[in-house]
Amino acid sequence: MQQPPPGSPGKILIGFFSFTEVTDPSEHRSYNEWHQLDHLPEQLPLAGIAWGQRWVCTPRCRRARTAAVPPLDRVHYLTMYLMTEPVAQTLEEFSALGGELHRLGRFHELRKSHLSGPFDVLSAHAAGRVLVSGAAVPYRPNTGAYVVVEEATGTHEGAERTPREQSALLEVDGVAGVWSFAAALDPGRWRPGRRRVTVCFLDGDPLEAAGGAEQILRHAAGETGTEVVYAAPFESITPWKWDWFDGDDGA
């Protein structure tokens, strides 16, 4: 069996992200029911969407954040769609489907995305202990993700398109693989800015992995050309188990 070369994401070209806040604390259950049972399934039949997953930054995860610059400090959920060719058609159909679901009254209005749009895949790696290739890591069951958002600072050309050093993150207990993304050069109607996103796919306790990742981020603080504006653990979502924020204001 021939696997993709190290660092290659295989057929995936784009990661579409949405960092989402539920604006009414009483609506987390309805939001999860809508997204998991209606909204996400409707995206997967589109021609170029190869995978989709959403994670939750539970109250315990929010307390373990390393960085959360406003408005990303209000994020409760992260959705990621992995896209392949035909990318332009897929993004067009993706946008059109959202509009159609709005028209049909099948869109959750009490949510706000604080960062969304298409990101080019820069690299994909698996930890040495993991048998699958880096390209296969997102399809492997996970317990959550540790996610870092960085923003380019100053005029350092191309900083946001340089993958964060991954070898140290791959050695963190519970990290199964790491993918790096940069805001797409042609983002269409979305405005992701000069940002890059690093996703660590986890197969251990998200909070334990967050501790190891935080040490690496602090050690690398001041990296030329970028600033960490968000870094937090997220947990995987089990269908119909949506009680993380019951009795909690989500703060």
| Angle subtended at Cα 55 by Cα 54 and Cα 59, rounded to the nearest 5 degrees | 150
In this structure, the strands spanning 175-183 and 111-126 are: antiparallel
Whether the predicted pLDDT of 251 surpasses 50 = no
Name the one residue in this structure whose structure tokens are 């994909």: 124
Domain positions in the chain are 14-236
pLDDT reading at 143 higher than 60: yes
pLDDT average, residue stretch 110-126: 96
Alpha helices in 133-199 (DSSP H): 167-170
Residue 22: predicted pLDDT: 97
Least confident range of 40-44, 223-227, 239-243: 223-227
Average pLDDT of every residue of the chain = 92
pLDDT of residue 244: 97
Between 162 and 137, residue with greater pLDDT: 137
Task: Give the residue with greater pLDDT, 130 vs 105.
Answer: 130
| Percentage of the chain modeled with pLDDT above 90 | 76
Among the residue ranges 48-57, 64-73, 94-103, 218-227, the one predicted with the least confidence is 218-227
3-state helix, strand, coil in the chain (%, to 5): 30, 30, 40
- pLDDT: is 217 or 51 the higher one? 51
**pLDDT: is 157 or 53 the higher one?**
53
- The architecture that CATH gives domain 14-236 is 2-Layer Sandwich (3.30)
Q: Over 80: is that where the pLDDT of 6 sits?
A: no
- Looking at residue 250, its pLDDT comes to 45
Q: Within the chain, how many helices (H) and strands (E) appear? A: 6, 9
Please give the model's pTM, rounded to 2 decimal places: 0.93
**What distance in Å separates the CA atoms of residue 124 and residue 184, rounded to the nearest whole number?**
16
Joined together, the tokens standing for residue 48 give: 């170029």
